Amino acid sequence: MPRKRIRAILFGPQGSGKTTQGQLLAERYGVPFIEARGALRDEIESESAMGKLVKEYVDAKVLAPDDLVNAVMVKHLKKAADQGFILDGYPRNIEQAESLDKIAKIQLAIQFKMTDERAVKRLDGRYKEDDARRKLALYHFMTEPMASYYRQRGVLLAVNADQKMEDLQEELIKKMRKLGFSC
């Protein structure tokens, strides 16, 4: 019987290294790395009805409603649910987490913890400071509450993201191994 593939989500403030670590984890565990941003972009490029709706929100620079994001992500994740995945950028709130639960049982929710000051420094050059702080405020309001959601389900793993990439990767692997996730 083949071993079950890992199904994990990553969340944390912008600049905390989620994407880099997610790509490394996906490669290490032999599962796809799925970014919500990429799934939404693919949907836009397909010019489907959903893609056209997503494009309207992207063009207006506002977050798409949960129902629309959920529909796009369900479409993209259905294929990956059996083979496992490392998911970055989705869910962004508890409502989206509940939608994800309906298609894939998440085995691990990795929270990247970092102070806002450190995140702002890491985002220097990508965003103006006011924009970075606005994104961080949105993260704290919408996404950070997912920590208690996943803690209640017994799948939360918090890591200190304010360290060198190699050290963070080592900490993640060590903690994941303790939880029974081997590659």
Q: What is the pLDDT of residue 4?
A: 55
When pLDDT is averaged across residues 52-74 and rounded to a whole number, the result is 94
Residue of 160, 166, 159, 153 whose CA lies nearest to 7: 153
Share of the chain above pLDDT 70, in %: 97
Q: What is the pLDDT of residue 5?
A: 77
Q: What is the 3-state secondary structure (H, E, C) of the chain?
A: CCCCCCEEEEECCCCCCHHHHHHHHHHHHCCCEEEHHHHHHHHHHHCCHHHHHHHHHHHHCCCCCHHHHHHHHHHHHCCCCCCCEEEECCCCCHHHHHHHHCCCCCCEEEEEECCHHHHHHHHECCECHHHHHHHHHHHHHHHCCHHHHHHHCCCEEEEECCCCHHHHHHHHHHHHHHCCCCC
Residue of 4, 27, 11 whose CA lies nearest to 146: 11
Q: In terms of pTM, does the model score above 0.85?
A: yes
Q: What is the pLDDT of residue 1?
A: 34
With a CB cutoff of 8 Å and minimum separation 6, the contacts of 65 are 57
Q: What is the pLDDT of residue 170?
A: 95
* Domains of the chain and any CATH numbers: 7-34+84-178 (3.40.50.300)
pLDDT digits (tens, 9 = 90+) for 12-60: 999 999 999 999 999 999 999 999 999 999 999 999 999 999 999 999 9
What's the longest Cα–Cα distance across the chain? 52
pLDDT digits (tens, 9 = 90+) for 126-158: 999 999 999 999 999 999 999 999 999 999 999
CA–CA distance, 67 with 147 (Å, rounded to integer): 21
When pLDDT is averaged across residues 73-90 and rounded to a whole number, the result is 88
End-to-end CA separation in angstroms for the chain:
16
Residue with tokens 């050059």: 125
Amino acid, single-letter form, for residue 80? A
When pLDDT is averaged across residues 74-92 and rounded to a whole number, the result is 88
CA–CA distance, 67 with 74 (Å, rounded to integer): 10
pLDDT digits (tens, 9 = 90+) for 105-130: 899 999 999 999 999 999 998 999 99
